[in-house]
């Protein structure tokens, strides 16, 4: 049982680390509002260069924070789990800045 709890704690820490970058928080917040967007739309909306955006999307995909769906030649990104939206929104709205 202790090993299971330890693994779960490690996985939770990895998830929090994955969403803990300011650009990734912005991506999650935008996708929470608009449901789905392409990398180009996200890059333009957040004024972030596409290669940098792709890097951050890759990290989020690796940790199953977002999912991607092919629509022709386009890749459309969306949040994979409503809990992620809630975590980011709670953190975003409880900061004192």
Mean pLDDT of 19-31: 94
Q: Residue 1 is encoded by which pair of tokens?
A: 């049982």
Asked if pLDDT for residue 23 goes beyond 80, the answer is: yes
Full domain range(s) for residue 10:
2-92
Any idea what the CATH number is for the domain that residue 6 is in? 1.10.10.10
Number of independent structural domains in the chain: 1
Q: Is residue 31 part of a domain?
A: yes
State the pTM of this model.
0.86
Mean pLDDT of 15-43: 93
pLDDT in tens, 42-92: 999 999 999 999 999 999 999 999 999 998 999 999 999 888 888 888 888
DSSP, collapsed to helix, strand or coil, labels residue 64 as coil
Supply the pLDDT for residue 1.
Answer: 61
Q: Is residue 49 part of a domain?
A: yes
What is the torsion angle, in degrees rounded to the nearest 10, for the CA atoms of residue 34, residue 68, residue 14 and residue 1? 110
Supply the pLDDT for residue 2.
Answer: 86
59 or 7, greater pLDDT: 59
Which H/E stretch holds residue 16? helix 2-19
């Amino acid at each position: 049982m202790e090993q299971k709890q330890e693994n779960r704690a490690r996985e939770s820490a990895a998830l929090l680390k994955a969403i803990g970058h300011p650009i990734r928080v912005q991506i999650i917040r935008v996708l929470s509002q608009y449901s789905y967007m392409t990398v180009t739309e996200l890059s333009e909306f957040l004024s972030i260069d596409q290669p940098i955006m792709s890097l951050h999307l890759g990290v989020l995909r690796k940790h199953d924070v977002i999912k991607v769906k092919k629509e022709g030649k386009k890749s459309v990104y969306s949040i994979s789990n409503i809990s992620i939206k809630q975590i980011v929104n709670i953190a975003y709205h409880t900061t004192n800045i």
